[in-house]
Amino acid sequence: MATILVTGGAGFLGSHLCERLLDRGDDVICVDNFFSGRKANIRHLLGNNNFELIRHDIVHPLYVEAEQIYNLACPASPVAYQYNPIKTIKTSTVGMVNILGLAKRCRARVLHTSTSEVYGDPEVHPQREDYWGHVNPLGPRSCYDEGKRVAESLCVNYHLAHGIEVRIVRIFNTYGPRMDPNDGRVVSNFIMQALRGEDLTVYGDGQQTRSFCYVDDLISGFIAMMEQDEEIGPVNLGNPTENTMIELAEAVLEVTGSKSRIGRAPLPKDDPKQRCPDITKAKALLKWEPKVDLKTGLAHAVEYYRQTQFGS
């Protein structure tokens, strides 16, 4: 089939994408600097003749040949992307320029993974792609949010100036096996806390909402978006079922059967109050919508954490 470059391929989403592309028969070049990704995520792929791993940081130019590029390189958890905010900005800006330059040289099509964070703390609900967002450009999340907004702008402008075939997806909170158990995101935190018998750390009053998509559904959306010839996006990809963090905590307790209690911790600054994708566009353009409900997806994630973290 095709030679496909996946940046951030050793991360949570990237590893699932590499696996899916290899299963389809593609040649996959996985590029990662292992900042938030892990070798364990891709160890099972290393023996595959169609899989190649390159330790590389996309902030530096990369010279490989590919027909398609999925650009996922960027830490995604607030704890990880706030660890070195300037590096996060460089990855989404300088790194994006390098990837688009590579695409220009190879005439490759690029799918860029943007985020619901471009909507900030949204005043429009649910969020449609034509909403411009409500982002604090100076706050602790700005290194990620503004970096991703510049990356979208770079994609559109390389498309207009050089005819690069870009595809932009805006991902809403996604979870599943291989999400780093220590990366601080809410699903991995709650599951690990439940399995350890610790209190679940609900931040603030727990009434803030998110919409959780299972990883397999999201990867199908990536591939459908890459393969369609009609438009560059952006297209929202996420599960339109919205839950409060209290509801998520209760679902985790039910699925794990844990005796943990729901505890409280301070709400981080600029934490968005609500988030839910309008996926009308994805349904029409990609014939895509999520299939896996929250409790089924959580059960798969719990099984993964039990096996890899607790050996049972």
| Chain residues that interact with ligand UDP, rule: CB under 6 A | 77-78, 173, 185-186, 189, 201-203, 208, 210, 245, 267-268, 271
Q: Which residue in the list 70, 144, 175, 305 is annotated as catalytic? A: 144
Nearer residue to ligand UDP within complex by CB, 57 or 121: 121
Distance, CA of 174 to CA of 277 (rounded, Å)? 12
C-alpha distances out from residue 24 to 15, 34, 43, 109, Å: 14, 25, 19, 18
Residue 144 known to be catalytic = yes
In whole angstroms, the minimum distance from the beta carbon of 202 to ligand UDP comes to 5
Taking contact as CB under 6 A, which single stretch among the options 71-79, 97-105, 258-266, 292-300 is the one that binds ligand NAD?
A: 71-79
Q: Does position 236 bind ligand NAD by CB under 6 A?
A: no
As a whole number of angstroms, the distance between CA 176 and CA 17 comes to 13
DSSP string, 238-300: S---EEEHHHHHHHHHHHHT----EEEEPPPTT--S---B--HHHHHHH-------HHHHHHH
Candidates 59, 97, 156, 246; binder of ligand NAD (CB under 6 A) is: 59
**Nearest-angstrom CA–CA distance, 273 and 298:** 23
CB of 151 to ligand NAD, least distance (A): 9
Q: Which of 223, 262, 215 is nearest to 239 (CA)?
A: 215
Please give the helix or strand (H or E) that residue 53 lies within, else none.
Answer: strand 51-55
Which is nearer to ligand UDP, 165 or 247 (by Cβ)? 247
Closest distance to ligand NAD from the beta carbon of 198 (Å): 23
36 versus 260: smaller Cβ distance to ligand NAD: 36
Active site members: 144
Contact positions vs ligand NAD (CB under 6 A): 7-8, 10-14, 32-37, 57-59, 72-76, 80, 91, 95, 113, 115, 171, 173-174
